[in-house]
Amino acid sequence: MAWLFSFRIVITPTELTFRSLFRGQQTLKHEEIKIVRFTWKFWQTKKGPLRLVVEPRDGSTKAKLEINAKVFSREAINAVLDLGARVGQADDGGLRDGIVLKTLRDFKKRKKK
């Protein structure tokens, strides 16, 4: 239970902060954010397959934030993606509606070809 409660995303007017139990607290200023990506990698079971990746701008000394998205609400994920769209770029990978709907959309696209 402590593991779950250790995860926090905080968006202030100037910074995005992510905290986890094992990696501690990581912060990026809004002007350092290049892109926020929402990804699904089935084979990444160690880090969690559903990820929010916040990449810093070129030349920034900060490391990218890799956030295990499965422990956060849809509202929290949308807030980070919306921040990315405001200050840089955002790519939801078609996953805002969930994995099942994306899989069905991809299946329909393949079927039409």
pTM of the model: 0.78
Q: What is the pLDDT of residue 5?
A: 64
Stretches where the chain sits below pLDDT 70 are 1-5, 42-47, 98-105, 107-108, 113
pLDDT (0 to 100) of residue 102: 65
* Cα gap 22→61, rounded to integer Å: 21
Taking the CB of residue 15, how many other CB atoms lie within 10 A of it? Answer: 14
78/92 Cα distance (integer angstroms): 9
CATH number of the domain at 2-112, please? Answer: 2.30.29
